[in-house]
């Protein structure tokens, strides 16, 4: 096994799930496990969550749903982006529940369902301001009227998605008002739904009035608040620790360079440790000369350009040896750690990208 591994702590996943259950109240949890469960491993995370009582899962694409079905996940699987009409067959064959906003897709879904004699469940997606996917509120009644001609499709659910639930509360509340208005006008026309959902992680905590029959937590499942680092409204613990080992230590002189393109020139003699993790593993090149890691409980800064397969660390004159553990995300305890928020700030991105960037070539090790 490689020195570089991602350790996944199921105890923290369960801790986070319990927080979500408490916050969600009577609402069902649609656990968002798209993008390889935010880098944590879609199959292993989903199996553990199913063992812990989760009966609904959200994926981005139909192919992710097939991975779960082939792994033995029997719970409801919701496809957030059904994509092209060709994926209608996948939804039918694998009993997936698509979130739809296209009559063309419904037509293909119905045709595929007819071939097998199945009745397929679906949700409609209302665009309340994200402008990424969904039906405009003013078109919702017409959409439902057209959908009624597909007798082998049951529109059992309706949803929307907040664009700014963690940042701009005014806009999020405007979206909620549009969604509630759409529900009202549909109800007046006789359209009611078994499942209604809008909440992502942020809205679930910050907007109790937006809680319907289901919630869709993502980042909170994996241990980070979707607002700001350390937000005490989110009682969660990081699930992933990204660690490696020192594979070499060399002494360099004043004026020596480290790495590609001479991005670092030493101003004195010092020890440089090489760590076998790089941007090919998801440790972003943007960390060059910025990020810190933990070795023997002390923080050290990366120096020189992050390579595809390795990075280098300035360990000064400290007694660092080959084989010493290196923590690049997380840490050996709950106090001295490197946070995904910390790395995201250095790379001018968000913790979602830090977590989901951990590549498939990094082995995941799961601990109860």
| DSSP helix/strand/coil, 67 | helix
Whether the Cβ atoms of residue 300 and residue 327 lie closer than 8 Å to each other: no
The question of whether 260 is a catalytic residue gets the answer yes
Q: How would you list the strands of the sheet with 248-252, edge to edge?
A: 248-252, 270-275, 311-316, 298-303, 292-295, 325-329, 240-245, 5-9, 364-367
The answer to whether 274 and 247 are in contact (CB under 8 A) is: yes
Catalytic residue status for 254 = no
- Among 34, 48, 121, 245, which one carries the catalytic annotation? 34
Q: Catalytic pick from 115, 149, 260, 268?
A: 260
Structural contact between residues 200 and 216, judged by C-beta atoms closer than 8 angstroms: yes
Neighbouring CB atoms inside 10 A of 242's CB total 26
Q: What is the Cα–Cα distance from 57 to 78, expressed in whole angstroms?
A: 6
Interhelix angle 42-51/62-70, nearest 10 degrees: 60
Residue 77 CA to residue 315 CA, distance in Å, equals 47
CA separation for the pair 75, 337 (Å, rounded):
35
Q: With CA atoms as reference, report the closest residue to 101 among 59, 48, 72, 144.
A: 144
Q: What are phi and psi of 290, to 5 degrees?
A: -125, -55
Active site residues: 34, 260
């Amino acid at each position: 096994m490689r020195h570089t591994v991602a350790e996944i702590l199921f105890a923290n996943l369960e801790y986070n799930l319990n927080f979500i259950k408490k916050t969600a109240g009577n609402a069902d949890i649609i656990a968002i496990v798209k993008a390889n469960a935010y880098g944590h491993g879609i199959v292993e995370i989903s199996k553990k969550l199913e063992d812990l009582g989760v009966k609904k899962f959200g994926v981005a694409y139909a192919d992710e749903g097939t991975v779960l079905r082939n792994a033995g996940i029997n719970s409801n699987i919701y496809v957030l982006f059904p994509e092209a009409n060709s994926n209608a067959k996948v939804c039918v064959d694998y009993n997936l529940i698509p979130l739809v906003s296209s009559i063309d897709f419904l037509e293909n879904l119905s045709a595929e369902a007819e071939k097998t004699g199945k009745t397929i469940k679906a949700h409609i997606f209302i665009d309340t301001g994200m402008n990424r996917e969904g039906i405009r509120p003013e078109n919702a009644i017409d959409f439902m009227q057209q959908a009624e001609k597909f007798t082998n499709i049951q529109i059992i659910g309706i949803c929307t998605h907040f664009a700014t639930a963690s940042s701009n509360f005014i806009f999020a509340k405007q979206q909620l008002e549009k969604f509630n208005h759409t529900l009202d006008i549909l109800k007046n026309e006789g359209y009611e739904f078994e499942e209604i959902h809008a909440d992502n992680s942020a809205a679930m905590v910050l907007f109790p009035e937006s809680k319907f029959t289901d919630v869709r937590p993502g980042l909170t499942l994996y241990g980070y608040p979707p607002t700001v680092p350390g937000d005490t409204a989110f009682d969660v613990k990081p699930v992933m620790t990204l660690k490696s080992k020192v594979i070499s230590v060399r002494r360099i002189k004043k004026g020596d360079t480290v790495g590609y393109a001479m991005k670092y020139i030493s101003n004195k003699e010092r020890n440089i440790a090489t760590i076998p993790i790089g941007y090919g593993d998801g440790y972003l090149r943007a960390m060059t000369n910025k990020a810190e890691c933990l070795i023997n409980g002390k923080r050290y800064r990366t120096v020189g350009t992050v390579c595809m397969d390795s990075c280098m660390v300035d360990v000064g004159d400290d007694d660092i040896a080959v084989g010493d553990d290196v923590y690049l995300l997380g840490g050996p305890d709950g106090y001295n750690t490197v946070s995904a928020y910390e790395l995201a700030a250095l790379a001018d991105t968000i913790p979602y990208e830090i977590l989901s960037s951990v590549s498939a070539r990094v082995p995941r090790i799961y601990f109860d």
